[in-house]
Copies of this chain bind each other. A is one copy, B any other.
């Protein structure tokens, strides 16, 4: 394990990737520094807004993403985790451009649904408007039998999108109430669990009382996938 170095392409947003580092550390079984996972975090919050690029003709983030991947390659990393769901809209061109395996956040979320024993059937997914519009989770989870309910466009505009912006502006506490309301609405429509499919969302949800149904924290899910990679003796 000691010689495998994890690369983290982060900064999208910066608080989410910082929290990814915290959770990666706390979820790693270790008794001393030297048993933790060597990691290089490339936190580049200058990457152009992924949602604006996908939905509004904003600047393409791919060049900045590829710069980060090259930086992680040069640093000696053996695999890459990207704690930003929307950035996975560029997964294919990123994976084509690097020899490093990229751990896919939707696969990590699916593994966490299984870990929590969530049976096939209706689940909820919250995310940026771009993540939902591109069907990242709807397509990624359909094969395993999970049917994704998503917030209505009114719920997105009134609750989810503003709350994500609050977290990016460091107003984490203010994000709890709108995010919890949107998650409860999905549960009321039949979701057996809710995937927090934008890494800002678990930061807001953690600022208040726990929700009374299973949630998949995609920061934690990706951290668990990264630990699995680092600890597998014969992994990629």
A30 partner residues in chain B, CB cutoff 8 A: 168-170
Q: Is residue A95 contacting chain B, with contact meaning CB distance below 8 A?
A: no
Q: Which residues 8-27 of A have a CB within 8 angstroms of B?
A: 11-15, 17-19, 21-22, 24-26
Q: Which residues 27-73 of A have a CB within 8 angstroms of B?
A: 28, 30-49, 71
Tell me the minimal C-beta distance from A56 to chain B in angstroms: 15
Beta-carbon contact of B34 and A46 below 8 Å: yes
A157 partner residues in chain B, CB cutoff 8 A: none
> CB within 8 A of A22: which of B22, B39, B49, B169?
B22
> CB within 8 A of A42: which of B31, B32, B35, B40?
B40
Tell me, in angstroms, the Cα distance from A34 to B168 when the chains sit together: 9
Beta-carbon contact of A33 and B21 below 8 Å: no
Q: Which residues 166-186 of A have a CB within 8 angstroms of B?
A: 168-170
List the B residue with the shortest CB-CB distance to A43: B39
A92 partner residues in chain B, CB cutoff 8 A: none
Tell me the minimal C-beta distance from A131 to chain B in angstroms: 15
Q: Is residue A134 contacting chain B, with contact meaning CB distance below 8 A?
A: no
Beta-carbon contact of B25 and A170 below 8 Å: yes
A34 partner residues in chain B, CB cutoff 8 A: 45-46, 48-49
Binding site for B on A (CB under 8 A): 2, 11-15, 17-19, 21-22, 24-26, 28, 30-49, 71, 74-76, 165, 168-170
